[in-house]
A and B are shown apart, each in its own frame.
Chain A
Amino acid sequence: MSRRVARLLLAPAVLVVLALLPELGFGLGSVLPGPLSSPGTLQLLALSLLFAGVALSYDLLFGYTGLLSFGHALYFATGVYVANIAVTDWHWGFAEACLVAGAAGLLLAVVVGSISLRTSGIAFAMVTLAFAQAGAIVIQKNPHSWTGGEQGLGYDYTRIPGAFVGVVNTRNLYWLALGYAAAVYLVVGWAVRSSPGHVWQAIRENERRVEVLGLRTRGYKLLSFVLGSFLATVGGIVYLLVVGGSDMSVTAPDFTLAMLVMVVLGGSGTLWGPLLGGFLYTYANQRLVAVGGSHAVQSLPGFLRTPLSQPLFVLGVLFILVVFFLPGGIVGIGARGRSGAHGLSRVGSSLRARVHGGAEDPA
């Protein structure tokens, strides 16, 4: 079988395998909390798949268009909170709640995106961070007691479709998350191969050149921004279902930074990279706590045991190592010198502050 055919069949094959997982009754030792068909395991896998998709939605901006956004969490949180508020506080039906959440995410992305994209580079990163922070503050303030503030907001399960409620239906949530990740893969994959997609990647390489060609880069960047953010909003709705409520952890600055870690770990500028990175990061974050409590780790000397039982420490260190030694991320291990490996430095060159007189103009 030629490599080309193998690559084409990879995604559907993975999809089929993943779809069949809940049917399998065996476990994977301490890698998973229980056998594959158990709710605990399926919950963990569902969350990991969900964030795989969200990470890819982020990489559409970062890895493909070269937009360093520190505010992606805002759109995710919009999905998580608006859908919940509509159902639980306003007593709407689920379908309408999803629509209004999607619309809110879209609108917010268009407005905030248009404003933020008036800047670029580090300034853009800071503006997006500012808006995400503003959103977090609004949620914390708990206007009209809608958001639940620090306590978070559980959802009114009577208004959620029965198929997604209850421990017995965890496998449905798993398939929903899988479906979401697959959908993001398809949408982003199609988008980056389309002609706006080529423009995005050209913008990432050298925005000036694209402008010189007569294209209005702002419109293209906004398109990428809105699409990625909307996908994140949809992910937020899925999160609401998988987790059963809204909480403020999705608004923390650490959350957006986590997405950055996910895509770089996996391999920015590729389709599989962010999926892998999002999946592994989420899995590790959840699972390392349990592994940390395991016998093997507890028997280590104190100075090793403490750091290793902290998932974010392990992930942080891993992240630093990847940045140094594996700029292409995990998927870049096989393919040296492909877009992923250069993705970081290309994003970097378009972000480089012009302060330092490192002129790039020939005389």
Chain B
Amino acid sequence: MSSAPRPLLEVRDLHVDLGGAHVLQGVSFDVPAGGITALLGRNGVGKTTTLRGVLGLVPRRGQVVLAGERIDREATHRIVRRGVGYVPEDRDVFAGLTVAENLRLAARNGSARYDLVHDLFPELEERARQRAGTLSGGQQQMVAIARALLNPNRLLLIDEPTKGLAPALVSEVAGLLERIAAAETALLVEQNLAVVRRLASSIVVLDQGRVVHVGTAADLDDEALVHRLLGVGHAA
């Protein structure tokens, strides 16, 4: 009998204070290697802060272990260089740079997968010389995702990729994430439960800065649970 493989990401007792508020109060969970783990919760519970805490973009206390190595003492750029891709909540593309420059900036070393990116996002190749600030929301989202996919990463941290997108685009992005999930591991913050049901293998639910539920996507079929944890849908 073989023991379960080590999770790719282990978060233990993560605490983050922001502007005087104790946003994360001891968050602990695992992200198994392969597939998508969804990070869920109501607005303001600390989902984005958790991702930023893992990356070290906010000051944090606690343990974060990536593939068996502690990264909570490291600077953000070093963590990213270990093979972590980040798609931030507000896309954060560089408006003054062209699409091509946005990608070039993200390319870490010679192994940048431009072919893959242009395959997935042909429109970006067309608009290579266009300033990213003039792109539509959906196009900027593509740039943000492309940036994270450009390098072969072990872990992707993706924050609400479908936010503010038209339904057709939501579907497209979901399909894209499905293809990604086949090859890479992702921690996905997402409010759209339909997308989560489609993509996620495991779920972690936050409430008031703590983990309150760990399970699989099948748990989302339980309406009472969903209502209690996420405040949507109907109580049974």
Contacts and interface: CB of A to CB of B under 8 A. Distances in A.
A206 interface: yes
B46 A357 contact: no
Contacts of A301: none
Nearest to A209: B20
Main secondary structure of the interface of A (DSSP, over half): loop
B57 A363 contact: no
A143 interface: no
B92 A362 contact: no
A16 to B, nearest CB: 42
Contacts of B189: 363
Contacts of A208: 19
A205 B92 CA distance: 28
A306 to B, nearest CB: 41
Contacts of B49: 362-363
Interface residues of B, number: 19
Nearest to B206: A363
B21 A362 contact: yes
Q: Which has the most chain B C-beta neighbours within 10 Å: A208, A209, A363? A: A363
Q: Which has the most chain B C-beta neighbours within 10 Å: A209, A359, A361, A362? A: A362
B47 interface: yes
B23 interface: yes
A302 interface: no
A362 B20 contact: no
B227 to A, nearest CB: 21
Nearest to B47: A363
B57 A362 contact: no
B63 interface: no
Contacts of A362: 18, 21, 23, 44, 46, 48-49
B147 interface: no
Interface string B166-199: 0000000000000000000000010000000000
Contacts of B19: 206, 208-209, 360
B186 to A, nearest CB: 17
Interface string B79-104: 00000000001001000000000000
B52 interface: yes
Interface in A316-361: 357-361
B182 to A, nearest CB: 27
Nearest to A361: B18
B41 to A, nearest CB: 9
Contacts of A363: 43-49, 89, 159, 189
Contacts of B159: 363
B24 to A, nearest CB: 8
Contacts of B92: 357
Contacts of A205: 20
B136 to A, nearest CB: 21
Nearest to A349: B19
A206 to B, nearest CB: 6
B74 to A, nearest CB: 17
A206 B21 CA distance: 11
Interface of B: 18-21, 23, 43-49, 52, 57-58, 89, 92, 159, 189
Given A360-B19, A363-B47, 20 more contacts: A205-B20, A206-B19, A206-B20, A208-B19, A209-B20, A358-B57, A358-B58, A359-B52, A359-B58, A361-B18, A362-B21, A362-B23, A362-B44, A362-B46, A362-B48, A363-B43, A363-B44, A363-B45, A363-B49, A363-B159
16 contacts: A205-B20, A206-B19, A209-B19, A209-B20, A358-B58, A359-B52, A359-B58, A360-B18, A362-B18, A362-B21, A362-B48, A362-B49, A363-B47, A363-B49, A363-B89, A363-B159
